Structure 1
């Protein structure tokens, strides 16, 4: 049975349930008596157990089952919750996330049993005087098994030998010539062939679901070459309470007995090793063929198994790149595509017509529809920032416990939407900033008490839309940035001379925090002090076409302000010409365009600047930065055309030869070969088929 088609759905839904579990556990820690939260956690754990079981991920299923036992005891008031217990439940959550991540990368849950967590869950029940899972029924009848493991093993071996000698009471299923050839090749290659007969409890209501689980176990550990009844009939529940399969495997019999017996509602598992004699071949003949081939041959089924495994991994690695879309947005897309078809038919009819007015009207109509289509597609790509924000309350909770501080994270604007590509990249920068606020910003309990501040420090995480940008703010009510301390660090590291440091404004001093290897921490901890963090934040944000600014007030706190474009796919741009080449400048970063007299160009600190309305703005010669050889020299120009670009609260003037005009452009990646070029953010294909490079104004602006 092929469950690969459900893998991406499983991953996506598991991640949603885990995020819900994360939020609910935080609520439980605040109010352990909240029955509504407890019931929600139990529901999520139960759902995860069922999903993982259906997919055949037995380790994940077992862990959620143990977790469910503790949650059931909690909600029935047999035990009470505390911080230590919530810590263990969070460890369960982390283990489940690791299982899902392993499934995404390999297509399988891995071999981690998480025994330490399972034992910790069992201890919780023991301390409460409750029976642990080992004493409860797990879908099999415990009384039917001998209590002594050695005796049990001897019974199993004796039973297997008896079945092999007598041909078993079940008997070998009917095999065709293809089946016999595959079995023969498997035996020649030294592999095992088993006939496995599975019986369900007579009261089993979900035979097909249980069969799915069994088939997942079989497919994970072997290759199925025969099924009676057929797989299709088992899927449609067209069978009684038993079925038989023949498998080729390199695993031993005990593994199948153990794994299949762990499935609920299994009444019995009978395994018959298939020998050469059973398929009408002598053992000597098999041995002779094996010696001739050196045991190197492999059955055809094994090759199929390897191919299936690779397909599973590829399928799993694609999981998680989906976007859930409101049906209304899809309806809008459908309507717009319908309009495009109408326009296309209209243009076909007007090809030979001489009515230029009708043609112009159709083109205008087409332009209007394509603009609406663009907006609709952008909305489909949009994802609420909640997808990123939801992971941070848990992180702040863990950091607060590690630092022994009282910190509360207050979030707002989670419904604000960003392009999926931006959402995927913004998480790491926000983690750095939030860690920075918790470690450097928020004071200890003693400090806050001495300063007459509330005992619990607050970190505010906000998101809101501002025109074509989304603004994300991280603000804390902590100690703020000590600008004097930063000045000293600048001198200690030899980044500037004392004279220059004294002339730097407060904002210019704070900008040094974003330099590589720059840290004001007095000691290195697991959270900070290594000088990597804010420089990573700046690099990442600017790579996304955004900016980051800092506002601070000593003793009152700091605020990091991140501005990001709504989308990275289609933008409004100003096309300019430098020499014979065309370039695109993102319109979102342009403040104004001016023609400057050459007499207004001055030299300050060996840099060219222009004077514009009493403002001193650094001049950037784009022809020099971009190494354009045939740019028009200044002496052949009447004036200097400059594009004033804003980066945060700073302005820069980009000199260009001429302006072409504003245009909506589609951003194309330059690929791996040209990756990492600072001045260029990508490329676009113009209407005439030529390529124009998109200037990365953030990396060039001074």
Structure 2
């Protein structure tokens, strides 16, 4: 067995229990060294996934590090570290043989192993016992790697057997009375079991056909795979067999054109078998379909190598031998004489040639039709999208410039009109028209009223308004130009929208490109565990962003595997339950508003919520007190919790522990949501709700305390202006808002993102009601800055795990803003200061209410000082009366009831000393607090020499410390002596 893989994939005693490891003196460095090696593998994961197979250095480094970890884990007597290192070493060895970490989910498994290794090593470094449970990772490795190990072992075994049996096998397959010349020259051509890599040598004139060839082969292979699945249930269908034959023939024709020998030979052998089937000389059975599906997979692998312009290392001779065995046996069964056999073969060849001609014509026709489409790389599409986004941003900037120009023109119009009025007024006041009349008559000796008026008008117009007319003409020209700019902006908006939507359509592909992968996989998985499953697909025409299609592959496959393994019962049990022996899985896709919905539904045994509840209690995911309050949905959602797994749910094929957590995380990163519904003995429905694209999104811009962020507009139900203490209620330790008879939990945006708050003392804010499709949450911000359509860009590998962030964009003002993931916000419990803010504002409201019952008089001859004090105390809640001197203050105090006085000393008419003494003579003001305010000329000492200490409460030098004054006023005027502080930070 490869690298003792069978032992590594088994559970070890220490996997799920606490392990004590005592390092010998001087061996402490080993723990740090092992942790360093684990971090080194983790840092290289991204490079391993895209590594060039020809450059084995990265693969070798990963193998060396894994071997190091496994070896030193054994030396320090840690079974957990040794086991994880052995698994990493096994994967590294497989990757070196497959020349890739992409097959069999090896990059995914390595990531899981390294994460566990780091947890275990950190415990080891800190001297703690190793508590981390690694059984879930071992289970995942057993699921994915068993087939990989079996494939490697089978290839080695077949190579040995084929080498020994090749000659005798060909002799057995070829009847002695059949001359080889009666058969096709290609059928029994000598083959070499020691296959060497095939170098791709293509005529330079045909090099441009490689892309078209690969695209055509992939399409034909996908069709062939689905036809083989259908033929298993309907093996006598001539239409299906003929369609399959044509698909294989198309592959052979393309490979012959480009001289891809391995594809040509393998497709020719498969074509020969299919011709035997459609000529009724052989019947398709399960084994034959297995071989045919293996041929499809092998040709797919070779095509991938062709697309990457690499030498073809994929082996095909083992499949050729299997296919030849089927042909030879069919000929043996049908032979009678040499003549008959030759006749049959010749007839077959003649029929095949006719079919080839017919297929050649149809293939040619298909290629002509395909000329209307071209293959465009994702990089080029991204470049177009970036350009369309820049056009959109430029249009917004141009529109802003146009608006500024309009404002400038309006300002100039108003300014000229004001200047005209000012000049007219000046002219009336300063020009002596009588003197003009006298001088005019004296010079001309003639009094002519008309000439005088002309003189006035001429002077008035030519001296001033001639230039004004020029300005008016200039402004009119600017206005015409402004209207032209407006029209151009509107045209640019239409064009940029069309460009953006057109570029987006490039990336939208039918979901059939994803769904069509699953029929063959469902068949293999079901047969592996002895079940029969029928997969029904609908909604193939639903289109999604190509990026989403790629990211959905693994989550959907995991959900389908779970339906087969955990959902669909064994055939005998289904019969006992009066169900059809063949289980049903429905895979559907459809649009819902601006989202796409994907459903995976099975008719299996369903999920028992009582079992889940019990396992969750055992795992410590919930407490006994929480158990009674959980809804059915909340219980089912426990399946997605990290660490939720058990022997009952984890099998050799799939599990609901690590895997389901990964599924939910993957869907969340796509701004999607996942919903689980199940009925015991009836089945389970998993619903995925996803955006149609991750590229262009409408966003709402918001800010809190100067920090700007954006939310996808599709997730914003409503924006509401609120007063925190009036519109939001407190329920236990949570703030809620009544949104259309539904209580929505409320938090500040800073509670999620961890930056300081800026609290409005009046509690005036904006509340965004956010919706992830199922759940709602209220988020408080300072202001809403508007909305835009933007191109969403990923953050990149360095910070791709930033919490609550799905990407970023550049705004029209050239600012970079982060776009937040509403689904993650609604599902994350955060430590919130919202309740503390609420309580402080609520306390502040009570204080303001008490202050509002008191009137404070400000007496100061300085208007600036009065304005400063009045504004501050009014904002704090006090009623204010102001006076400019002592005399005015006395008159006002007779009409009002004053709660406190703030009096300046140096004032005209009646200074502060006189005012205080006059006030204290009035019975109603004998006990009213008085605060003295004065500048540099008066100190507290000389103040007390004029006024007794009992007559005033405090003295404040200018400029007054407003907060200290407010505290003293509250102490004197309020019944409850409280002080409010809103300086809250997160």
TM-score by length of 2: 0.48
Q: Does residue 503 of structure 1 match 2:629?
A: yes
- The 3-state SS of whatever aligns with 1:678 is coil
More helix by share: 2
**In the TM superposition, what is the alpha-carbon distance from 1:8 to its structure 2 partner?**
2.2
In structure 2, the residue matched to 1:149 is none
Cα distance in 1 for partners of 2:817, 2:333 equals: 71
The partner residue of 1:627 within 734, 749, 754 is 754
Q: Does residue 677 of structure 1 match 2:802?
A: yes
Cα distance in 1 for partners of 2:499, 2:316 equals: 50
The Cα offsets for residues 260-284 of structure 1, whole Å up to 9 and x where unpaired, read as: xxxxxxxxxxxxxxxxxxxxxxxxx
In structure 1, the residue matched to 2:281 is 78
Residues 470 and 570 (structure 1), Cα distance of their counterparts in 2 relative to 1, 3 Å cut: same
Q: Does residue 9 of structure 1 match 2:135?
A: no
In structure 2, the residue matched to 1:618 is 745
**In the TM superposition, what is the alpha-carbon distance from 1:586 to its structure 2 partner?**
0.3
Cα distance in 2 for partners of 1:96, 1:517 equals: 40
Cα distance in 1 for partners of 2:377, 2:516 equals: 18
Q: Does residue 32 of structure 1 match 2:235?
A: yes
- The 3-state SS of whatever aligns with 1:673 is helix
Cα distance in 2 for partners of 1:498, 1:104 equals: 58
The partner residue of 2:549 within 416, 420, 423 is 423
The Cα offsets for residues 570-613 of structure 1, whole Å up to 9 and x where unpaired, read as: 11111111221221100111222233443355666755444444
Cα distance in 1 for partners of 2:379, 2:218 equals: 13
Cα distance in 1 for partners of 2:592, 2:571 equals: 37
Q: Does residue 586 of structure 1 match 2:712?
A: yes
Cα distance in 1 for partners of 2:240, 2:661 equals: 40
Contact 1:485–1:520 (Cα < 8 Å) also in 2: no
Contact 1:578–1:628 (Cα < 8 Å) also in 2: no
Residues 381 and 353 (structure 1), Cα distance of their counterparts in 2 relative to 1, 3 Å cut: farther
Q: Does residue 88 of structure 1 match 2:256?
A: no
Query: Mapping of 1:133-152 within 5 angstroms?
Result: none
Higher Rg of the two aligned structures: 2
Residues 100 and 423 (structure 1), Cα distance of their counterparts in 2 relative to 1, 3 Å cut: same
The Cα offsets for residues 439-485 of structure 1, whole Å up to 9 and x where unpaired, read as: 11112222222222233221111111112111111111211111111
Query: Mapping of 1:236-385 within 5 angstroms?
Result: 321=377, 354-355=479-480, 356-385=482-511
Residues 643 and 82 (structure 1), Cα distance of their counterparts in 2 relative to 1, 3 Å cut: same
**In the TM superposition, what is the alpha-carbon distance from 1:417 to its structure 2 partner?**
0.8
In structure 2, the residue matched to 1:114 is 316
In structure 1, the residue matched to 2:774 is 649
In structure 2, the residue matched to 1:197 is none
Contact 1:680–1:693 (Cα < 8 Å) also in 2: yes
Contact 2:594–2:692 (Cα < 8 Å) also in 1: yes
Contact 1:575–1:662 (Cα < 8 Å) also in 2: yes
Q: What residue ranges of structure 2 are gaps of 5+ in the alignment?
A: 1-202, 335-374, 382-387, 403-474, 828-986
**In the TM superposition, what is the alpha-carbon distance from 1:321 to its structure 2 partner?**
4.9
Cα distance in 1 for partners of 2:322, 2:652 equals: 26
Cα distance in 2 for partners of 1:661, 1:380 equals: 29
**In the TM superposition, what is the alpha-carbon distance from 1:552 to its structure 2 partner?**
1.6
- The 3-state SS of whatever aligns with 1:516 is coil
Task: Report the number of matched residues.
Answer: 498
In structure 2, the residue matched to 1:698 is 823
In structure 2, the residue matched to 1:142 is none
Residues 521 and 645 (structure 1), Cα distance of their counterparts in 2 relative to 1, 3 Å cut: farther
Cα distance in 2 for partners of 1:539, 1:654 equals: 23
- The 3-state SS of whatever aligns with 2:779 is strand
Contact 2:595–2:691 (Cα < 8 Å) also in 1: yes
In structure 2, the residue matched to 1:217 is none
The Cα offsets for residues 250-300 of structure 1, whole Å up to 9 and x where unpaired, read as: xxxxxxxxxxxxxxxxxxxxxxxxxxxxxxxxxxxxxxxxxxxxxxxxxxx
Residues 57 and 324 (structure 1), Cα distance of their counterparts in 2 relative to 1, 3 Å cut: farther
**In the TM superposition, what is the alpha-carbon distance from 1:131 to its structure 2 partner?**
11
Q: Does residue 55 of structure 1 match 2:248?
A: no
Contact 2:765–2:783 (Cα < 8 Å) also in 1: no
The Cα offsets for residues 347-373 of structure 1, whole Å up to 9 and x where unpaired, read as: 9xx998641333323322321232233
Q: Does residue 447 of structure 1 match 2:573?
A: yes
User: Which structure is richer in relative contact order (CA contacts within 8 A, separation 6 or more)?
Assistant: 1
- The 3-state SS of whatever aligns with 2:301 is helix
Residues 530 and 593 (structure 1), Cα distance of their counterparts in 2 relative to 1, 3 Å cut: closer
Residues 73 and 320 (structure 1), Cα distance of their counterparts in 2 relative to 1, 3 Å cut: farther
- The 3-state SS of whatever aligns with 2:531 is coil
The Cα offsets for residues 657-697 of structure 1, whole Å up to 9 and x where unpaired, read as: 11112211111222232221122111111111111111112
Residues 677 and 617 (structure 1), Cα distance of their counterparts in 2 relative to 1, 3 Å cut: same
Contact 1:548–1:648 (Cα < 8 Å) also in 2: no
Residues 644 and 29 (structure 1), Cα distance of their counterparts in 2 relative to 1, 3 Å cut: same
Cα distance in 2 for partners of 1:351, 1:404 equals: 85
Greater mean deviation of Cα atoms: 372-381 or 20-29:
372-381
- The 3-state SS of whatever aligns with 2:802 is coil
Residues 515 and 401 (structure 1), Cα distance of their counterparts in 2 relative to 1, 3 Å cut: same
Residues 612 and 524 (structure 1), Cα distance of their counterparts in 2 relative to 1, 3 Å cut: closer
Cα distance in 2 for partners of 1:320, 1:377 equals: 12
Contact 1:549–1:648 (Cα < 8 Å) also in 2: no
Cα distance in 1 for partners of 2:477, 2:817 equals: 34
Cα distance in 2 for partners of 1:503, 1:557 equals: 25
Cα distance in 1 for partners of 2:817, 2:520 equals: 45
More strand by share: 1
Cα distance in 2 for partners of 1:98, 1:366 equals: 47
- The 3-state SS of whatever aligns with 2:324 is helix
**In the TM superposition, what is the alpha-carbon distance from 1:103 to its structure 2 partner?**
3.2
Q: What residue ranges of structure 1 are gaps of 5+ in the alignment?
A: 133-318, 326-332
The Cα offsets for residues 626-684 of structure 1, whole Å up to 9 and x where unpaired, read as: 2333x421x43433422111124211112211111221111122223222112211111
Q: Does residue 69 of structure 1 match 2:196?
A: no
**In the TM superposition, what is the alpha-carbon distance from 1:22 to its structure 2 partner?**
0.6
In structure 1, the residue matched to 2:523 is 397
- The 3-state SS of whatever aligns with 2:562 is helix
TM-score by length of 1: 0.66
Cα distance in 1 for partners of 2:630, 2:507 equals: 43
Residues 602 and 105 (structure 1), Cα distance of their counterparts in 2 relative to 1, 3 Å cut: farther
- The 3-state SS of whatever aligns with 1:636 is coil
- The 3-state SS of whatever aligns with 2:766 is strand
Contact 1:595–1:639 (Cα < 8 Å) also in 2: yes
Residues 81 and 370 (structure 1), Cα distance of their counterparts in 2 relative to 1, 3 Å cut: same
Residues 431 and 351 (structure 1), Cα distance of their counterparts in 2 relative to 1, 3 Å cut: farther
The Cα offsets for residues 122-171 of structure 1, whole Å up to 9 and x where unpaired, read as: 22123223599xxxxxxxxxxxxxxxxxxxxxxxxxxxxxxxxxxxxxxx
In structure 2, the residue matched to 1:44 is 247
Contact 1:32–1:80 (Cα < 8 Å) also in 2: yes
In structure 2, the residue matched to 1:264 is none
The Cα offsets for residues 391-448 of structure 1, whole Å up to 9 and x where unpaired, read as: 1111112222222222211111110111111112111111111111111111222222
Query: Mapping of 1:521-532 within 5 angstroms?
Result: 522=648, 524-529=650-655, 531-532=657-658
The partner residue of 1:126 within 321, 328, 337 is 328
Q: Does residue 492 of structure 1 match 2:618?
A: yes
Greater mean deviation of Cα atoms: 682-691 or 526-535:
526-535
Contact 2:523–2:533 (Cα < 8 Å) also in 1: yes
**In the TM superposition, what is the alpha-carbon distance from 1:521 to its structure 2 partner?**
5.2
Cα distance in 2 for partners of 1:91, 1:324 equals: 34
**In the TM superposition, what is the alpha-carbon distance from 1:625 to its structure 2 partner?**
2.2
Greater mean deviation of Cα atoms: 7-16 or 386-395:
7-16
Contact 1:383–1:418 (Cα < 8 Å) also in 2: yes
Cα distance in 2 for partners of 1:95, 1:505 equals: 49
Cα distance in 2 for partners of 1:693, 1:29 equals: 52
